[in-house]
Structure 1
Amino acid sequence: MPKHLILCDCLGSQTIDAEALGRATGLTCSRVHTALCTREIAAAAKAIETGDVVIACGQEAARFAELAVDLGQPEPLCVDIRDRAGWSDDTPAAPKMAALVAEALVPAPQAKSVDVISDGTCLIIGRGSVAFPAAERLANTLAVTVLLTEDEELPTSRDFEIVRGTLKSATGTLGSFALQLDALSQMEPGGRGGYGFGTPRDKAETSCAIILDLSGNPPLFPAHEKRDGYLRADPGDPNAVAAVVFEAAQHIGTFEKPLHVAVEAQLCAHSRAGQTGCTRCLDACPTGAIQPDGDHVAVDPLICAGCGACSSLCPSGAITYDAPQVAFDLRRMQVMAETYISASGSAPRLLVHDDGHGVEMIALAARFGRGLPGDMLPLSVGALAGFGHAEMLAALALGFASVDVLTSPKSDLDTISREFELASAMGGKGRIRLLDVGDPEALSGKLYSTEAKTTGTDHVLPLGSRRQVARLAAKALMPDVMHPVPLPVGAPYGAVLVDTDACTLCLSCASLCPSGALGDNPDKPQLRFQEDACLQCGICATICPERAITLEPRFNPADTALAQVVLHEEEPFECIECGKPFGVKSTVEKIMEKLAGKHAMFAEGGAGRLIQMCDDCRIRAQYHSEANPLTGGDRPRPRTTDDYLSKRRDH
């Protein structure tokens, strides 16, 4: 059954062209209601009962969901076209509304998650004056232990345990924290008078499901606000303490932890043969969820907070954002651009924002200010740092005239700025902006002050990995550029430069290159390079014994980047026995020159000749030589029973 679009102008505060929306979206539109969530709620109920509907109202989504439950119908899809389009100083809004509705209809992939179980064991850290009242409030809900940071008078209550000691380390997350303490002593509840403590012991280990840190000391974890199950408050702020105590009481039971990223270990370029290469994800991860794991890296899904920085920065695609997948956001942008261009005939602009701060900024700008320009299409993403250079370039290549990224106070500005600079250098200069504004009116001012362009880049279909999408989009944005473009330091695209005077063609770089960008020629001494495959991980430069390799960050849009080129080649040495070419002539001659006259075995006719032979001839020469290392003495005769008896008779 085709979807029906149920419209409401929110007490006449916006103008909706139902006919234009129907043409642009292909949906059957209702009449334009005025108070669908109140006086005309019966019309909403009738529409929900009749089948698969889309309600053009985001503010009252919860009310319509409850109505659907009461009617025994599936929850309707609710789309906000008011704050993002209808409440705007720009008119008409129909093309933009159509684009927003079409984007909402893109089917989202199934979310992946894992169950996390918290048994309610809670460790409260702090002074007794703060920790004891918090423990008393939580004791009926959680199994509480207080770790005292100072010596104080102990309460007589036995509703919770009390220990003291020095916390040396803490690892883990909600449901599975592991702690190590020194000088740990437990309260002894026996005896008359005040309670005391037992004998302290070092290297004590324990575990808990929740940590409530009221100590006022530095956090136990990096990016502590993103660590599930770790709650922290300033002990001098009673309101903050009360808030985290209330929150701690909710941390018991089974929870769904989203799996934010997917990892393909075989693509990782972290290290080879003990030599470190790419560390981009390790350096960027705020929570420490990514750790080295041999030649690759491993992501702890329970610690990962889903910021998306690793996905943006990974040069090989070993780590990809998976909640939702990158392809989903590309599809959303494609549908938005195509719908808007089809309805208006001009190119839209894209505003990328997070689903918290950005949504609130747009809502406030719409309710109390000018709202968004009519050609500015907002795209909400769960991980702003995950919207990297590939997505920025893809948006332009899909037909958007420009891309604005609205950051929030909690955004990873280092990663976003790095990706912005990279996208600008790869064809997006002047068409991509970072907006770091915290005032809705200032946001509208910046968006309205930018001159809108009527055309964008010719439509390009983004296919393949993020790396392939970025290359395809960059080529479309720079159609006339056929020479390499310099990129910022640390970019994941570039060339390998070889000092041919220093290179001995040992090919250690080719053997360890994780992406296969460097390779050899089995028929002759050659070092080959394919620029498109180079990740700029640096392993080749690190492993080179002659220090003959340097990296040049750049993007080559020409097709020559897809072909193999020879970086260095030399004449092969010809075997002195059979004439078969092998090895590198200059290297063999240099070895002979250094060994000449140094030892009798390398004199003419000696072992030195073996160095000048191919593998087959060398084996034959060694086998037939007097000092053949492959031969031994005569095989001893087996000892028989007669030998044994004969020896007995002789004695």
Structure 2
Amino acid sequence: MKTLICDCNRTLPLNAPALSQALAKTPGADTDGLDTVHSLLCRREAGSFQRAAKSGDDVLVACTQESRLFLDLNAATEGTQPVTERPIRFVNLRETGGWSKDGAQATPKLAALIAAAQLPDPTPVVTVPYRSSGRTLVIGSADDAVRMATLLADKLDVTLLLDGPGGALPQRRDWPVHTGQLTRLTGWLGQFEAHWSAGNPIDAELCTRCNACIDVCPEGAIDFSYQVDLARCNSHRACVQVCEVAGAIDFNRSATTITEAFDLVLDLREAPAFSQHQPPQGYFHPGRDERRRMDAVLQLREMVGEFDKPKFFHYTHKLCAHSRNEQIGCSACIDVCSTSAIRSNASLKGVSKQVIAQGGGGGIIVEPHLCVGCGACTTVCPSGALAYATPDTVDMGKRLRTLVGAYQRASGKHAALLVHSQGAGTRLIDELGRAARTQADVHGVPARVLPMAVWHTASMGLDLWLSAIAMGASQIMVLLTDEEAPEYRQALTEQMAVAQAILHALGFEGKHLHLLEARDARDLASLDAALRCAPAATVAQPLAMATQANKRATLDMALDHLLSQAPTKPEAIALPKAGSPFGSLQVNTDRCTLCLACVGACPEGALADNTEKPQLRFIEKNCVQCGLCVSTCPETAITLEPRLWLADEGKARKSARVLHEAAPFACIRCAKPFGTLKAIENMLGKLAGHPAFQGAAADRLKMCNDCRVVDMFSDQQQTHITKL
């Protein structure tokens, strides 16, 4: 790969030999092209880019500002490959550190950013298709809806839904017009279903817009939207008489619900049809803001055809801790989803065992057409049943290891990862870098802070954060903007509390996890100050292993390494109840009858029985604190205990231990043990007054299954002989 660096008219302190030397120490990194520092690569020295593009090698340009120019130049240069066959990559060295006040010390960071940009693209994933033929519903008042429809009608098939009287419709019937109140809107781009209640006396489809009703109405209750304002109407009904031929006005007409399908929806009303933070794709609610309305129009005009997006998640039904046997356990993914894309599939009534085995019963259902890839569900999922797919944790781990490792090999100290979104987060960091260039009181992104753009900041959680710390990072900073839903802030805060509790208990001093919030340029000063926080302690020997596809395996690997490097080795770490994926169980042995219902309910294999004797065993490493055992236990004998058990160098939590055991009850006929003494006594006590369990029937409750059958058969034989 040829890497072209430019000091942007000598405003960046780039040290080519130092960068080349640093990258040479990073496995897989390429130093080709780093021997030259360009100053005007986008202007006078553009020939260097053209020669690199014609070489046939992959090209990385250390400039994002002029990316469009370089792409156009590649297309215009004879002998180059189109970007569809050989993509050109870009990395920003200017705003992300070169323009900061300590840009001269930023060589380790710049080397790390280049190394990460040279990594191969993530593994491709399956896509989710959308198909739109342009059927568009515009909802609002007559004036607003008509104006927007005029801007859309040449590209889209427009239908108007007027939600009340007021304004004016044109005399020409250019589009279908309905009147009524929207009662329900479901679906997504290409598959919306709108329901509205049509109760106005004037039928918009029958109305000829002759204006006779407007002329005769003495109260002015009918306007050019051709709806009756019932609050002003005094029941003269002159309008009905003049419309007798057309029959468009009927005050006795019952309200009807109309349902129609649309591909796109432009909602001009004050209140949106969807309450979630992120509405479905294809739905636009600009409100009364004129600029947002124009933006919506421009986007709608281009939304005809077939579209694909990545399927952002993998779901493994057998790992899901949401439900079992119609009992609800963990619902973290449902609670955090800002698009309402996840719903419960808990009920198993009428579902065959084969369907359940294939993942068709219980657990959750995720609608990929509604998912926008925030990844918050994968972050809060304690078991790893939901996993982020693009990029997956393996690719993300490679990127983390490359960033931190390249920085360390270039003699960088106290690396802090700044995780931000590719959209609003990138724009804020660019603004901060530009402000540092022009304003004396703005520092810019510090030399030790490594920006890391992701599709969405909520897609990284406890497993990757702890892995990064184990790899040698000092801190993880997560930048939130207005893109993030309130649910994400709460989820990330809870995850950070768990991670920080673990690190502090292990003796790593300082604050390792930071949640930063900024909306726009008005927050740059606070963001600038937050990025200059004091570093925190980290491991002496970085973790060399890669992250795993399985979330729990990645967590175990990171925890084992952190424990091996920890200044303090506690036996157990108490964790916050909210968001903890680790913990133990407390069993009230006075209540527990060892019915083992909890064993059947546990989706992770954390609870087990013993075939040799009545025991309830527990493997703490497997417990995800889902609570299914708690909701299943008929005796309410189980409570959750969030903690991280590290006894015996962490080996104890990986071994089975006995939570409760009891003496077995011996069959009164054959003396074979079955059940437990407490369970049988409990059952006898509950059935003592039942008429069906008296005498010999009561004794059978004290027998094993085999003896019970034999005794019943013998009793039947004796009864038959007696009758004879």
Structure 1 position 564 matched with structure 2 position 648: no
Map 1:447-458; keep pairs closer than 5 Å. Answer: 447-451=531-535, 458=542
Q: Distance in 2 between matches of 1:414 and 1:456?
A: 32
Question: Aligned residue for 1:88?
Answer: 100
Question: Aligned residue for 2:386?
Answer: 319
Distance 1:309 1:224, change over 3 A: closer
Question: Aligned residue for 1:76?
Answer: 88
Question: Aligned residue for 1:18?
Answer: 16
Distance 1:200 1:175, change over 3 A: farther
Distance 1:521 1:190, change over 3 A: same
Question: Aligned residue for 1:128?
Answer: 142
1:59-114 per-position Cα deviation (integer Å, ceiling 9, x unaligned): 22222222222233233222222222322222233221111111112222224322
Structure 1 position 212 matched with structure 2 position 210: no
Give the partner amino acid of 2:551.
Answer: R
Does the residue aligned with 2:657 lie in a helix, a strand or coil? strand
Q: Distance in 2 between matches of 1:155 and 1:472?
A: 68
1:168-210 per-position Cα deviation (integer Å, ceiling 9, x unaligned): 1110011110122222654225485467568665232111011
> Offset of 1:536 from its aligned partner?
1.2
Q: Distance in 1 between matches of 2:497 and 2:157?
A: 50
Give the partner amino acid of 2:280.
Answer: R
Unaligned runs of 5+ in 1: 635-651
Asked if the contact 2:598/2:607 (under 8 Å) is kept, the reply is: yes
Does the residue aligned with 1:288 lie in a helix, a strand or coil? coil
Structure 1 position 379 matched with structure 2 position 384: no
Distance 1:401 1:159, change over 3 A: same
Which residue of 677, 700, 707 corresponds with 1:585? 677
1:418-456 per-position Cα deviation (integer Å, ceiling 9, x unaligned): 211121122166222122245334323332352576975
Does the residue aligned with 1:203 lie in a helix, a strand or coil? strand
- Report the more deviating stretch, 621-630 or 316-325: 621-630
Question: Aligned residue for 2:419?
Answer: 352
Distance 1:123 1:206, change over 3 A: same
Question: Aligned residue for 2:154?
Answer: 140
Q: Percent identity?
A: 34
Does the residue aligned with 1:62 lie in a helix, a strand or coil? helix
Unaligned runs of 5+ in 2: 25-30, 213-225, 227-247, 347-361, 437-442, 505-509
Give the partner amino acid of 1:230.
Answer: Y
Distance 1:177 1:330, change over 3 A: same
Question: Aligned residue for 2:606?
Answer: 517
Structure 1 position 39 matched with structure 2 position 44: yes
Asked if the contact 2:328/2:628 (under 8 Å) is kept, the reply is: yes
Give the partner amino acid of 1:265.
Answer: H
Asked if the contact 1:214/1:233 (under 8 Å) is kept, the reply is: yes
Which residue of 383, 386, 390 corresponds with 2:463? 390
Which residue of 473, 477, 489 corresponds with 2:562? 477
Question: Aligned residue for 2:513?
Answer: 432
Q: Which has the higher contact order (CA 8 A, sep 6+)?
A: 2
Give the partner amino acid of 2:285.
Answer: R
Which residue of 413, 428, 435 corresponds with 1:368? 435
Structure 1 position 100 matched with structure 2 position 113: yes
Question: Aligned residue for 1:538?
Answer: 627
Question: Aligned residue for 2:716?
Answer: 626
Asked if the contact 2:511/2:536 (under 8 Å) is kept, the reply is: no
Asked if the contact 1:400/1:457 (under 8 Å) is kept, the reply is: no
Structure 1 position 230 matched with structure 2 position 287: no
Distance 1:186 1:564, change over 3 A: farther
- Report the more deviating stretch, 591-600 or 251-260: 591-600
Question: Aligned residue for 1:419?
Answer: 495
Structure 1 position 156 matched with structure 2 position 168: no
> Offset of 1:461 from its aligned partner?
2.3
Q: Distance in 1 between matches of 2:536 and 2:460?
A: 23
Q: Distance in 2 between matches of 1:83 and 1:9?
A: 12
Q: Distance in 2 between matches of 1:630 and 1:426?
A: 71
Asked if the contact 1:68/1:75 (under 8 Å) is kept, the reply is: no
Give the partner amino acid of 1:363.
Answer: D
1:38-65 per-position Cα deviation (integer Å, ceiling 9, x unaligned): 0111121112111313222222222222
Asked if the contact 1:457/1:476 (under 8 Å) is kept, the reply is: no
Aligned-pair Cα RMSD in Å: 2.6
Which residue of 692, 703, 717 corresponds with 1:613? 703
Q: Distance in 2 between matches of 1:278 and 1:459?
A: 31
Q: Distance in 2 between matches of 1:38 and 1:511?
A: 69
Q: Distance in 1 between matches of 2:571 and 2:589?
A: 23
Which residue of 563, 575, 579 corresponds with 2:667? 575
Asked if the contact 1:233/1:241 (under 8 Å) is kept, the reply is: yes
Does the residue aligned with 1:352 lie in a helix, a strand or coil? strand
Q: Distance in 1 between matches of 2:285 and 2:539?
A: 51
Question: Aligned residue for 2:190?
Answer: 175
- What TM-score does the superposition give when structure 2 sets the normalisation length? 0.82
Does the residue aligned with 1:157 lie in a helix, a strand or coil? coil
Which residue of 571, 577, 599 corresponds with 1:489? 577
Asked if the contact 2:417/2:450 (under 8 Å) is kept, the reply is: yes
Q: Distance in 2 between matches of 1:597 and 1:389?
A: 54
Asked if the contact 1:498/1:550 (under 8 Å) is kept, the reply is: yes
Distance 1:333 1:506, change over 3 A: same
Distance 1:281 1:193, change over 3 A: same
Distance 1:177 1:456, change over 3 A: farther
1:364-397 per-position Cα deviation (integer Å, ceiling 9, x unaligned): 2222213222122111111111111222111111
> Offset of 1:399 from its aligned partner?
0.7
Asked if the contact 1:56/1:78 (under 8 Å) is kept, the reply is: yes
Q: Distance in 1 between matches of 2:409 and 2:267?
A: 55
Structure 1 position 188 matched with structure 2 position 206: yes
Asked if the contact 2:469/2:539 (under 8 Å) is kept, the reply is: no
Question: Aligned residue for 2:128?
Answer: 114
Asked if the contact 1:622/1:629 (under 8 Å) is kept, the reply is: no
Q: Distance in 2 between matches of 1:238 and 1:363?
A: 27
Which residue of 392, 399, 407 corresponds with 1:340? 407
Asked if the contact 1:65/1:76 (under 8 Å) is kept, the reply is: yes
Asked if the contact 1:623/1:630 (under 8 Å) is kept, the reply is: no
Give the partner amino acid of 2:316.
Answer: E
Does the residue aligned with 2:453 lie in a helix, a strand or coil? strand
Distance 1:590 1:367, change over 3 A: closer
1:110-160 per-position Cα deviation (integer Å, ceiling 9, x unaligned): 243222111111111111121112112222211111111112443212211
Distance 1:627 1:551, change over 3 A: farther
Give the partner amino acid of 2:661.
Answer: E
Question: Aligned residue for 2:54?
Answer: 49
Does the residue aligned with 1:362 lie in a helix, a strand or coil? helix
Q: Distance in 2 between matches of 1:493 and 1:487?
A: 8
Does the residue aligned with 2:491 lie in a helix, a strand or coil? helix
Give the partner amino acid of 1:521.
Answer: N
Asked if the contact 1:117/1:175 (under 8 Å) is kept, the reply is: yes
1:231-250 per-position Cα deviation (integer Å, ceiling 9, x unaligned): 11223x43333332233222
Structure 1 position 328 matched with structure 2 position 398: no
